[in-house]
Amino acid sequence: MSDVLRTEKARVAAPHAAGPTHAGRRTLLLTCAALVVLLALVTCSVAIGEVPLAPDAALKGLLGLGDAADVLIVQQFRAPRMVAAVIAGAGLAVAGALLQRMFRNPLASPDVMGVTGGASFGAVAMLAAGASQALIPLAALGGGLLAAVLLGVFGWRSGVSATRLVLVGLAVQAGLTAAVNFMVVRFPTELAGSALQWTTGSVYGRTWTEVWAAGAAVVVALAAAFLLHRKLAVLDLGDDSAGALGVNTDAARLQVLVTAVALASLAAALTGPVAFVALAVPHMVRFLAGPPTAGTLALTGLAGAVLLLASDLVAQYLLPVSGLPVGVVTATLGAPWLLVLMIRQSSSVNRSVR
C-alpha cells in the first residue's frame, strides 16, 4: 500500500460515528413501535363496534376466552376482518418493497404494475362463473400471474428496462381495472355483494373461509421473501457484479417477481385492489429507517399491516359516511403522498449509478 493511501486513511479515521449498528438499532426501535401500534389497533378493531366491548374482554374473546357472546362477536364478525387487513397490509407492503427494489424504480408496485388489478379480475371472473368462495385466492393468484405474464410479454425485451416495465404495467392495470368494472356491470347479481371490494378494495364482511386459505399462503410467500433477501441485496449491485458473485440474475429476478406477485395477488384476494399501501409503505420505511436490510423488510410488513388496519378503522368509525371501503381511505392518503414523492424525485438525485 502506498504512503498516499496511508495518509488518506489517517485523515478520514476520526469522524463519522454513525455505523451500521446505529441504523440497525433505529430499525429495531421502529419495529417495536410498529408492533405496539399494531397491537393497539388490533385491540381497537375487536373492541369497537355496534356492541362495544372492554379492551380486555375483546382480547380475551379473540383468544376464545370469557363470555360466550363476546367470543362470538369477536371471533365471527370482527376478527376475520381484522386479520384480513393485517395480512393483506403486510403482503402488499412487502410486495411493493420487493418490486421497487428489484426494478430500482420508486413507482414499481403491484398496484401500479397491474398485479392487483389482475388478481381482482381473476376473483371477479370466478365469482361471475358462480364458483365457490374458497377458490377466490387461487383465482386471484391466477389473475395476478396473468398480469405478470402480460407484463413480461410486452415489457420484457432483451432483459428488463425498468421504465418500460412500469409503463406497460400501467397499461395492464388500466385494462384489467376496466375489465373488472365491466364484469361488475355485466353480472350485477353474482357480484352484488362484493362489487366495492373488487373495484376499490374493502375488507367488509370477510369470513374465516376466505381469510384462512389466502392468509396462510401470504405467510408462506412472506417467508420466501425473507429467504430471497440476500439475493436481492446482491442484485442491487447490477447485473455484472451480481453475475460475478454467482447469482443467476434472470432466475433470481423471476423468483423475486413471482414472490411479489403471489404476495400482492393473495393480499388482493382478501381485500381487493387496495391502492397505495404497496406503493407508499416501502418509501415511508426507507425514509424512517434508511437503506434496505432484512430488518427494514420486516418493518415494511408491519407498517403495511398498521396502515391498512388503521385505514379500515378510520373508514369504519371516524368518517361521517358509513360503509366506505378502506380502499377509498388509502387512496385519499396515497394521492398526496405520490405527489410528494414526485416532487422529491425531480428535485434530488435519488440513485447513484457509476
Per-residue burial over 148-167, b = 16 or more CB atoms within 10 Å of its CB, e = otherwise: bebbeeebbeeebebeebbb
Q: Shortest distance, CB of residue 93 to another protein, whole angstroms?
A: 19
Judged by CB, which is closer to another protein: 11, or 189?
A: 11
Residue 67 in the binding site for another protein (CB under 8 A): no
Judged by CB, which is closer to another protein: 23, or 40?
A: 23
The set of cell numbers assigned to 301 is: 410488513
Residue 322 in the binding site for another protein (CB under 8 A): no
Residue 131 in the binding site for another protein (CB under 8 A): no
Between CA 66 and CA 68, with CA 67 as vertex, the angle to 5 degrees is 115
Residue 223 in the binding site for another protein (CB under 8 A): no
Q: What single DSSP character describes residue 133?
A: G
Judged by CB, which is closer to another protein: 2, or 322?
A: 2
Total binding residues toward another protein, as defined by CB under 8 A: 38
Residue 291 in the binding site for another protein (CB under 8 A): yes
CA distances from 181 to 91, 175, 191 (A): 24, 10, 11
Q: What is the spatial distance between Cα 26 and Cα 291, in angstroms, rounded to a whole number?
A: 12
Q: Shortest distance, CB of residue 250 to another protein, whole angstroms?
A: 11
Residue 246 in the binding site for another protein (CB under 8 A): yes
Q: Which stretch binds another protein (CB under 8 A): 121-129, 228-236, 326-334, 339-347?
A: 228-236
Give DSSP secondary structure letters for 191-224.
Answer: TGGGHHHHHT---TT--HHHHHHHHHHHHHHHHH
Contact 198, 187 (CB under 8 A): no
Residue 250 in the binding site for another protein (CB under 8 A): no
Judged by CB, which is closer to another protein: 6, or 186?
A: 6
Length of the chain: 354
Q: Shortest distance, CB of residue 97 to another protein, whole angstroms?
A: 14
Residues that bind another protein (CB under 8 A): 1-2, 4-6, 8-10, 12-13, 16-20, 227, 230, 233-234, 236-241, 243-248, 290-291, 350-354
